[in-house]
Amino acid sequence: MLSGIVKDWFSSTDFSKFCGPVVPLIRFEKAAYSNNEHFYAAAEIANYSDRQINGEVLWSAISSDKHFNLRGSLGRQSIAIGNASAGSFSIDLSKIDRACELQITVSIANTGYTNYWKIWVYPDKKPESFSNVIFTTSIDSALSYLQAGRKVLLNPDTANVKGIDGRFAPVFWSPVHFPDQPGSMGLLIDKKSNALADFPTDFYTDWQWWDLVTRSRSLILDKLGAPATPIVRVIDNFFRNRNLATLVEFKVGSGSLILCTMDLHSQLTERAAARQLRYSLLHYAAGNTFQPVQEISAGDLRRLLDN
C-alpha cells in the first residue's frame, strides 16, 4: 500500500535526480533573497557511476510564472568518478520586480542527469503600511481598534504568546519516546487564500518558511468554543493531535482581525521572507476581499494569546 502512495506522489525519475549514480549538486547560502542581491552557486557533480562522463554542464533559473528565464553554461567538462567541482555561476536578481519562486536547475547536456532547487525572491522595498489597516504587536491596542470597527494585523511578540515553540524540522522519531520536543510535523497551508497572494507558496512547508517558523509560536485553537480553520496550520503529531495555527483570521465585534504568531516586526531589513509576508497580509487586509467569517470574542482572543 505504501509503495503505491509513493508512486502516486513521487516518480522514479524525480527520485533519481537527487539519488542516483550521477547527481548534479550546488552549494548556495540561503533560500530567500531580496531583488537587490545576487544568487551565487558553486556546482559539483557526484559521479559514482562506472565511467568518466564527458559533457557540457548547463544551468538555468526560471520563475514559476515564466517571466524570468535565464540560462547559462559552465562549459564542456570531463567528470571523473567521485565528487568534482563543475565551476560556479551567479544571477543578478534585480530584474525581478515581484515576489516569485525560482527553480535553479543544473544538468549535463544530452544525458538524463539533472537536479533542481527552489529559491524565493522578493522586492527589496514594499510599502510598510496601508492607511486603512492597523499593524500592532499589542493585544490591548488591537482590541481597542477592533472595537472601533477597524481592520487589524496583530503580530504579538512570540515571547508573550501562549503556545508551542516553532520548529522547522519534524518530530524526531516519536513524541512518545521523546516527549520534550515540540513535536510538530510541518505546515498545512491554504495557498489559495488571498492573504498569501503576494507570498508564493505551496500547500506544504518549504524553505521560504524556515525563518518564519523558527521565529514563531503555534496557537492552540482547541481552546476556542467553536472550531477555527487557520490559513497556516501547524500539523501536530498523532500523540496530541491538536488544532494548531500561526496564521488565522477572525471577526471581532465590528472589527476584522488577522492574527499572525510568526515574527513579522523585527530585523526586517535582513529577513526578506518576513518582510514579504507582512506586506502580503497588509495588502490583503486593505482590500475588499478581507471579510472574516469566523468569530471570536475579545475575551477568548485574550485567553488564546496571554501567557
Query: Grid coordinates representing 288?
Result: 475588499
pLDDT of residue 104: 97
Nearest alpha-carbon partner for 302 in 132, 182, 160: 160
- pLDDT tens digits along 256-298: 999 999 999 999 999 999 999 999 999 999 999 999 999 999 9
Binning pLDDT at 50, 70 and 90, where does residue 159 land? confident
Mean pLDDT confidence for 60-89? 94
Coil vs helix vs strand at 222: helix
**Band of the pLDDT at 8, cuts 50, 70, 90?**
low
* 140 — pLDDT class (breaks 50, 70, 90): very high
Spatial separation of the C-alpha atoms in residues 107 and 99, rounded to whole Å = 26
Q: Is 75 in a helix, a strand, or coil?
A: strand
Cell of 117: 532547487
Task: Say how far apart CA 165 and CA 168 lie, in whole Å.
Answer: 10
Dihedral (CA of 164, 165, 170, 174) sign: negative
Name the pTM for this structure: 0.91
Give the pLDDT band (50/70/90) at residue 142: very high
CB 186 within 8 A of CB 293: no
